Structure 1
């Protein structure tokens, strides 16, 4: 079968490799149909991450996301996976049996996949499970810490929209920060109630008032840099800032030391380190819960342009002004 291979020098090539024929225990054989290119794929291909950070693939196949149809299930896999479309996030389980995902067929541990509802279009889930599991795991973590509301600094990002979706599902208050009025209108259509626009002249006081009212002491930060500098002095006492994304890499953090009197903490967030992902029982619950809500528009992939595997160089170079992703069609 055809696949995109990562060579030792991080050079990528399209090659023909043996096609997986059977499903190993706790694994599923998948006919891939669409594969989204996520920011994490580009980081992996850059060689910046240490070896073993992501679960490896046989034949060194690139990619962590995708969607396809389950052709066979191994021993120990729930029978209801067979014949279903699944959305994939390869980083959820380590296994020596993994094959995929930038390939015509993949072989995944079934707990790297969430079953799609029958009525949805599979293509729309080609790169979204990473955002979905991240937002779910974050919400579960802060609920366990007795937090009462969330502030999301990248409200219109894929993960920010997924976090909004789960906040609606679980009736958990969220304050979404957006850059523009258009962003506010986008989130309003998705059911958001508490939206603050950064360019509003009263942005900081609006945030301070709303955060105080909702007792929002958990910040999910997908931006970093300037936005943290702008809001940190207006956050409630005992707020924890969880850094997940670093879109603003140029602006250093800078705030008065008096802010520390409010016991504000700053820490990284990774879905890999959460109880949701590390505990197999909790991951099983999470994937089932995710499957139940995937019909909602909050959990889809925003598609930019479609490419073939042979066009991998062009796909990796593709950028979109509206956040649309490059997608491989198999």
Structure 2
């Protein structure tokens, strides 16, 4: 029996950027974010309405809530929150594809505010789920698997058998290492704490270095020279790019895949003018660079392996009404595994 779509729904809405020091206290976040009753949106041409099962928190959610995420920097307030999730298509606007998707379980990425009971999504960008894939796994099947696959492909294309990656115990990094190993590459994991090193060893890292060691730059330089590592990923920013590029052989490429430090990044012109390169990986732009057929093949590769190679580590779940606690918890436990916000536990 088809359920009637209500006129209103609960949705997380943000009214101003959240200061860094407020993230550690849900009561402080309440000054900027609230769970509100709002109208259920109507899908336009090429769009569908998804009844949300759950969504996942990713680093870009923290950038977004702080108002520094480059892809939504100019989005006006009040605005929605949440980008990645899964649910069931319950209505569609004009277009044959949306109508074909009705009643289907899907995973998707949307900038329309996914932490809500219903959300609009682009019918072209939905990943239809096989019956064997549940919403719990599917809600983490877009951002990290596709990012990890794309980054691993870039590392493979570089021609370097070895590559390093910072924040290596994080979900994106472990996914990247997992896929890269299937391509025959050898990851060098860079971590901040010893307990993170064991996570990386379990993921098959060839070497693990601790960036807090006083001689970290010397260790990395020696290792890069020994194994001819000419490619690396960094998501820390700030002073770290300078440290990493100083350790890399001439002609190497450093690829930024994030910026935990949202301030200026440090580079040396002497490096950039003498053969070293800096690149930037952003999932949305990576997907836009692919043909429709390539995007479709990538999405099927991911979803067909979500219970295997791309199996997410689901660490903790929160109800939609407890979403602010989820943000605080995730900001303090980003490497523990996926944190999800559940809109409808019956799905």
The one of 236, 240, 255 equivalent to 2:253 is 240
Distance verdict in 2 for CA 1:8–1:224, change over 3 Å: closer
Post-superposition offset of 1:327: 2.9
- 1:95 aligns with none
What SS does the corresponding residue of 2:150 show, helix, strand or coil?
Answer: helix
Residue 87 (str. 1) matches residue 107 (str. 2): yes
- In structure 2, what is the equivalent of residue 138 of structure 1? 151
The verdict on how the C-alpha distance between 1:170 and 1:126 changes in structure 2, with shifts beyond 3 A counting, is same
Q: 1:314/1:234 Cα in 2 relative to 1: closer, same or farther (>3 Å)?
A: closer
Contact 2:190-2:210 within 8 A present in 1 as well: yes
| Equivalent residues in 2 for 1:277-288, closer than 5 Å | 277-281=288-292, 282-288=294-300
Match of 1:182 in 2: 195
- 1:165 matches 2:181: no
* Contact persistence 1:149–1:218 (CA under 8 A): yes
How far is the alpha carbon of 1:163 from its aligned partner?
0.7
Aligned to 1:153: 166
Partner of 1:16: 37
TM-fit CA distance, 1:306? 0.9
Q: Is 2:164–2:233's contact at 8 Å kept on the other side of the alignment?
A: yes
Counterpart in 1 of 2:304? 292
Provide the residue aligned with 1:96 in structure 2. Answer: none
CA contact (8 A) 1:150 1:218 kept: yes
Gaps of 5+ in 2: 1-7, 18-31
Establish whether residue 192 from structure 1 lines up as the match of residue 200 from structure 2: no
Instruction: Give the whole-Å Cα distance in 1 for the aligned partners of 2:260 and 2:69.
Output: 18
What's the CA shift for 1:227?
3.5
| 1:108 match | 121
In the alignment, is the contact (CA less than 8 A) between 2:164 and 2:188 conserved in 1? yes
> In structure 1, the residue corresponding to 2:304 is in which secondary structure?
helix
Write out per-residue CA displacement over residues 249-282 of structure 1, whole angstroms, 9 at most, x where no aligned residue: 5796376x765575212343322333x3333423
TM-score (norm 1): 0.76
**Root mean square deviation, CA, Å:** 3.8
Contact 1:196 1:207 in 2 (8 A): yes
Q: Do the aligned residues in 1 keep the contact of 2:15 with 2:79 (CA within 8 Å)?
A: no
Aligned partners of 1:297 and 1:148: how far apart in 2? Answer: 20
Question: How far off its partner does 1:149 sit?
Answer: 3.8
* Structure 1 runs not aligned, ≥5 long: 92-98
Q: CA deviation at 1:221?
A: 0.5
| Structure 2 residue 313 is matched with structure 1 residue 306 | no
Distance (Å, rounded) in 1 between the aligned partners of 2:99 and 2:161: 35
Is the Cα–Cα contact under 8 Å of residues 56 and 339 in structure 2 kept in the other structure?
Answer: yes
Aligned residues: 317
User: Is the contact between residue 11 and residue 117 of structure 2 (CA under 8 Å) also seen in structure 1?
Assistant: no
3-state SS, counterpart of residue 174 of structure 2: helix
Check conservation: 1:242, 1:266, Cα contact below 8 A: yes
Cα-to-partner distance string for 1:18-66 (whole Å, 9 max, x where unaligned): 4467x7665444321112233323433444457966899xx95432122
Equivalent residue of 1:186, what SS? helix
